[in-house]
A and B are shown apart, each in its own frame.
Chain A
């Protein structure tokens, strides 16, 4: 950014000496600092060295044309406001210049007042542009630090509340009636749920700012499924649901982040356990064709109503609204979808009410290194 004198610095590139001098006088009189160049190469050199706030460039000059100068300078110094000086006849070229990055054009002949008015307007435009960028950067910075802020400021009180509940149970647990213990337990569960929601929400922000799921390792889907099902077996057993796998041999490798994919599978299997009645079955299978490896997770659960299917990946959407018995964070499937997207994969769902639901995950097969 221009840190030289407080005076805005204006560059005039024109091969007519009289015009350069006229502009200089008019602008200096209004308190601007003025640089001048008689042709393009010199003008570009001055611009690069001095970084003026604004430049007036004549269209018709020997050697480099004004059009080329504008093209070069608008790339080199994006903050500099460029004005094309042009004869009446060449409005078309003025428009072209504006497409190439000029802010406006000034038709010849022009009066000192016209020049000054346009200079003022151009500089205002520049200040607004810089201010807008500063605000945008500030916003991005705040969004980033917001993640950190949330993780600390919102989670620590929840952690403390749970610690208090622990101490309450430790110091007086044996004196509580069952209904008191129940209330405490319910509070504890809900707080844990809130913590989970914050955690999941943070995960989503981390995917968006690129700090999550960044690994691009060669992976075997079979071992990811094995890890995930192993993790979910206790829950299934507790609910009396059987969990089976059916994986074709020699699956091609895929590319991605093992930890987040395990979470995609445990998330979907976890959902299935919530909506599958006792005695039901969850099947995880995987197969492949030449280009894709596909995994599916099917349950024999309650299914999703047809009209609700389009919304299930939306944050906080609940299929049964307020009547939902199983209150998760409401972000699980959103997480899964984002993770699948970051793996250039897909996630789809088919479901029939009363019969069950199937989630299908598609991954591009890894192209083996030659």
Chain B
């Protein structure tokens, strides 16, 4: 049996983590969850996942971005696919977030809630199937 690919989920909403974990496990992935940015970065280092999904807006606005930066700065984080979850838009409906040019690469921005089939297909695109 091949080992399952590992996905790290970082989001401060326990229920969102759990709901997404169920979808990912159904998709055949091993799922690790972190409820805050700090734990997320630590788990990234200890687990070395194949992909991470990070909520843009945790405790503070922009928390997700600093997590993304920290992960991209690690050796394993340079080329691993990273997805961002877009938060509730507080700026108004038309000003969707545009990351600055020098910003570390995000492979995909997902909008909550994420459809199960979309989520699994985006991941499969990045990880080349199971």
Inter-chain CA distance A160–B113, complex, in Å, is 7
Q: Are B13 and A169 in contact (CB under 8 A)?
A: no
Q: Are B88 and A152 in contact (CB under 8 A)?
A: yes
Cβ-neighbour of B93 out of A152, A167, A199 (below 8 A): A199
Point out residues on B near A: beta carbons under 8 Å: 13, 15-16, 19-20, 22-23, 25-27, 88-90, 92-94, 112-117, 120
Q: Are B88 and A151 in contact (CB under 8 A)?
A: yes
B120 neighbours in A (Cβ, 8 Å): 170
Task: Give me 24 A-to-B residue pairs in the complex whose CB atoms sit less than 8 angstroms apart, sorted by A's number.
Answer: A151-B90, A155-B88, A156-B13, A156-B88, A159-B16, A159-B112, A160-B15, A160-B16, A160-B19, A160-B113, A162-B113, A163-B15, A163-B16, A163-B20, A163-B114, A166-B113, A167-B19, A167-B22, A167-B23, A167-B26, A170-B117, A199-B93, A206-B92, A259-B93
B16 neighbours in A (Cβ, 8 Å): 156, 159-160, 163
Q: Are B115 and A166 in contact (CB under 8 A)?
A: yes
Cβ-neighbour of A163 out of B19, B26, B88, B92 (below 8 A): B19
User: Would you give the shortest CB distance from A209 to chain B, in whole angstroms?
Assistant: 11
* Additional 13 contacts, C-beta under 8 A, given A159-B112, A160-B15, A163-B16: A151-B89, A156-B88, A159-B88, A160-B16, A160-B19, A163-B19, A164-B15, A167-B20, A167-B23, A167-B116, A169-B116, A170-B116, A259-B94
Q: Are B93 and A166 in contact (CB under 8 A)?
A: no
Within 8 A of B (CB), among A55-112: none
A167 neighbours in B (Cβ, 8 Å): 19-20, 22-23, 26, 116
Q: Are B116 and A211 in contact (CB under 8 A)?
A: no
User: Would you give the shortest CB distance from A143 to chain B, in whole angstroms?
Assistant: 15
User: Would you give the shortest CB distance from A210 to chain B, in whole angstroms?
Assistant: 11
Q: A148, A170, A206, A259: which has the most chain B beta carbons within 10 Å? A: A170
Convert A198-212 into 0s and 1s, putting 1 for each residue whose CB lies closer than 8 angstroms to a CB of B. 010001001000011
Q: Is the C-beta of A5 less than 8 angstroms from some C-beta in chain B?
A: no
Q: A156-B13, A162-B113, A259-B94 are in contact. Are A171 and B19 (CB under 8 A)?
A: no
A148 neighbours in B (Cβ, 8 Å): 90
Q: Are A170 and B113 in contact (CB under 8 A)?
A: no
Point out residues on A near B: beta carbons under 8 Å: 148, 151-152, 155-156, 159-160, 162-164, 166-167, 169-171, 199, 203, 206, 211-212, 259
Main secondary structure of the interface of A (DSSP, over half): helix
Chain B: CB-nearest residue to A263: B93
Inter-chain CA distance A169–B93, complex, in Å, is 29
Inter-chain CA distance A142–B92, complex, in Å, is 18
Q: B25, B27, B93: which has the most chain A beta carbons within 10 Å? A: B93
User: Would you give the shortest CB distance from A38 to chain B, in whole angstroms?
Assistant: 58
Chain A: CB-nearest residue to B20: A163
Inter-chain CA distance A156–B71, complex, in Å, is 26
Q: Are A170 and B22 in contact (CB under 8 A)?
A: yes
Chain B: CB-nearest residue to A212: B92
Inter-chain CA distance A285–B120, complex, in Å, is 44
Q: A156, A169, A211, A212: which has the most chain B beta carbons within 10 Å? A: A156
User: Would you give the shortest CB distance from A190 to chain B, in whole angstroms?
Assistant: 14
B112 neighbours in A (Cβ, 8 Å): 159, 163
Inter-chain CA distance A210–B120, complex, in Å, is 40
Q: A159, A199, A211, A259: which has the most chain B beta carbons within 10 Å? A: A159
